[in-house]
Structure 1
Amino acid sequence: MQYKEAKTRRYKKGQLVFAEGDEAFEAFIVLLGSVEISIGVGKSRKVLDVITENQMFGEMGVIADIPRTATGRCLEDTELVVVDRSLIEPKIREMDPYIRYLMDSLISRLVRTSHGIRPERKGVPGELPEDDSALDPRDEGESK
């Protein structure tokens, strides 16, 4: 598959693409390789998905303009298409308001379901349980 206006980025096995809590400026499409999406750290770490060729990830934070809700780590040497927020925002602004509301609702529900958390408050789609909120997934001691 070819992508217009696409730049690519290469990552080594074990390297972080982003960490839970990071700001979200880009989404990604896997060209080659695979990326594990997880939440939490240590014993509370939970793998949510493995993203493979021609699948997108990282879009929730970009679309909803919220910090990363999960960590993305390459399971092998990986090449990604980088989809900058500037490519997505104009298309979101042009969306029908009902479709935008539907998309926002689905993202909010997915965040809450992924983290097993309470309904949204103060415009935030979800919050981590208090005991996990201060943990940094880069402190796990895994290869980076």
Structure 2
Amino acid sequence: MVRRWSLALLTALCGVLIAAVKFGDGAPGSAALLLAVFLAFAFMLSPLAFPRTSGGAGDDRPVVYWRPGCPYCLRLRARLGPEAARLRWVDIWQDPEAAATVREITGGDETVPTVVIGGRGHVNPDPSWLRDQIAPAAPQA
């Protein structure tokens, strides 16, 4: 649990310390701005930036295996935007079986994001490709 939050907490703590120094130097505006930037970055590094894992066995949605603090996972999540909710996000640091699945797909590494669609694993796929894969089928006229 601590490992999942360590990078986000460290970032927030650095922001608080830097803001305190700026505030002490008589620059409350700069302090507030820096604190806001660091807290926003800490949020992006935290597990809160990703959709909650829901569903499980029998859930036919594509699965994205990820871990907190992974810049490639953040990139994928940000580029998918609201479409990310159409996927099942599984944190490999929270689920040992998921970590084993990723190691099996990647040949022994825990490289994330790893996406499984239709039983096939894709390591660090291009976000636009993934968006095309999960796009709803156009209604037939």
The TM-score normalised by the length of structure 1 is: 0.27
Of Structure 1 and Structure 2, which has the larger fraction of its residues in strand?
A: 1
Structure ranking higher on relative contact order (CA contacts 8 Å, 6+ apart): 1
